[in-house]
Structure 1
Amino acid sequence: MPDRRPALLGKLALGLIVLLLVAFLWPLRTVPTGSRGVITVGGAIKGIEAEGFLLVAPWQKLNIFSVRAEEATVEGAEGSTSDTQPVKVSLTVRYSIQTNRVAEVFEKYSHDGNLQSYVQTATQEVFKAVTARYNAPDLIAKRAVVSGDILTALRTKLDLYGAQVINVDMRNFAFSPSYMAAINDKVTQEQLRLGAENKLKTVEAEQKQKVAVAEADASAARATADGQAYAQLKLATAQAEALKVQNAALAQNRDVLELRRIEVERVKAEKWNGQLPTAIYAGAPIPFFNPQGASSGKQ
């Protein structure tokens, strides 16, 4: 019986070779999401393909190029303020490759879209240039403005490399230990000053309140005294007017009473028969005899 093993092994080897050729020459490829496919032939760029399936000829090469957002971190970036104070900061820059410049970046800077080294270098340079425009106090007080200046300058610089900056985060912003100590002392003194001013304002407010209360009490007392004096004046005036009215009434009443007395005497005289009483007791009245009138008449 002939040995069939050599023939079987030959078929298996041939099949494996065919599979390898098919895998190598298989034209259907995939470009993942967030990437671009750079087609090259002999190193020269022949086209840029979007995400999805595409057919690649055996003589072409597909290079996957990322256009996703990437991060570049710069730890301890150093700069100097306009008043020569050294300053350090850590920055994180988020960026991505401009999709319309993939071929340019692939040709000049990166075959996969990673520009981390370029971004780090550019960030260091921009940080030094921006901090040199500010003195140390302004760099602290205007941190948001400084961050905006860094973002604007970095966008301009990285645009040269075909990258667009999404945002910049600053961390661990710090000056030299001696300067930070001076700042802390200044802040402490300022807080003490503000505390003293607030205490003084409180004391002044309390004093003003006491003065206002005293003035109000004095005004109330004056008003009360004025009211009492006015009331007494009105009472005295009313009493004086009443006395005048009473005196006038008494003066008029004397004349009326005298006339009535004379009328009564006249009526008595008309009714008298001319006879005197035969018996006169002590204190009894004698008709038409007025000792006071007689004495006054004699006088």
Structure 2
Amino acid sequence: MEFTDADRRVRWLGRGLLFLGAAVVLVLLWPFYSVPTGSRGVVTQFGRIVGIEGEGLAVLPPWQKLHNFSIRAEKADIENAEGSTSDTQPVKVSMTVRYSIATDRVAEVFEKYSHDGDLSSYVQTATQEIFKAVTAKYTAPDLIAQRAKVSADINAALREKLSLYGAQVINIDMRNFAFSESYMHAINDKVTQEQLRLAAENKLRTVEAEQKQKVAVAEAEANARKAEADGEAYASLAIAKAQAEALRVQNAALAQNKDVLELRRIEVEKVKAEKWNGALPQAIYAGAPVPFLNVSK
């Protein structure tokens, strides 16, 4: 049986329609899906969440739909967040908050807040509120002096606030506080005055230290002179006591033996006689001693 060209065209057309229909059915009924790294697959059925798929291959029936939901770290920039200190000084700050969605709350966040894991608008609003609440507890000077504590308070309050939205804070990058221009001038003037005061106190302490050093040196010299004088006086007293004691001992000896004095006189006369050369003095005055003559020799 031979086919005409018309028959062949009909057959090819039928085959084409068959392949096309199969392709359409395959596309409509394709059961294979993939969940990329750093995401979760939210499975919905007629708009209702029926499951969460992890990273990798997901096989779903055609009446279910897969939504890729990011759990990667995201960031929200808050520029010029405004607040007011307890002493009514306006203050601004810029911050960057990095956060991510808690993996066990993906379904809740998808249902209530975001279909893709982006909560930047919620984070910005919450950060503004927290900044106002925290800065209202501090005076302007304390806000500057206790920056680390202020940052910790904001961090703690923001963690608690964002947990309501199923988000967890990774870190907060907070830039410098900005006050009004007039207040910044006042702070600079105060800092300058404080520096001058500290310099004056340091100079005063230096002068006082120098004066104390001079007094200490003078006292040391006076004590040295006093010690030297005391030593000399003590030595003189000791010598005087020794001389007095010697005289006392000598007088006591003389009092006990009167012949000692006569013996000493004889010894003196003997020495004079031994030294006499036999010549008489040229002039003898009344009462003058006459040399002793030893006639026995």
Q: CA deviation at 1:211?
A: 0.2
Map of 1:75 onto structure 2: 79
Deviates more, 1:226-235 or 1:31-40: 31-40
RMSD: 2.8
Aligned to 1:254: 261
Encode CA deviations 1:142-171: one digit per residue, 9 max, x unaligned: 222221222222222222222222332211
Structure 1: which amino acid aligns with 2:97?
A: V
- From 148, 173, 179, the equivalent of 1:175 is 179
SS of equivalent residue, structure 1 residue 129: helix
TM-score normalised according to structure 2 size:
0.79
The residue that corresponds to 2:218 in the other structure is 214
Q: 1:26 aligns with which of 12, 27, 30?
A: 30
Equivalent of 1:63, from 55, 58, 67? 67
Q: How does 1:52-201 map to 2 (within 5 A)?
A: 52-201=56-205
The 1:222–1:37 alpha-carbon spacing in structure 2 relative to 1, beyond 3 Å, is same
Indicate the percent of aligned positions where both proteins have the same amino acid: 68
1:136 deviation in Å? 1.0
Give the CA deviation at 1:202. Answer: 0.7
- Structure 1, unmatched stretches of 5+, are 261-282, 288-299
Partners of 1:285 and 1:121 lie apart in 2 by: 143
Distance 2:293 2:143 in 1: 128
1: CA distance, partners of 2:84 / 2:266: 125
Shift of 1:32: 2.2
Q: Distance in 1 between matches of 2:15 and 2:217?
A: 117
Count, aligned residues: 265
The match for 1:268 is: none
| Alpha-carbon spacing, 1:14–1:254, altered in 2? closer, same or farther (3 Å) | same
Distance 2:265 2:202 in 1: 89
The structure-2 alpha-carbon separation of the partners of 1:286 and 1:48, relative to structure 1 and needing over 3 Å to count, comes to: closer
Structure 2 spans left out of the alignment, 5+ residues: 268-291
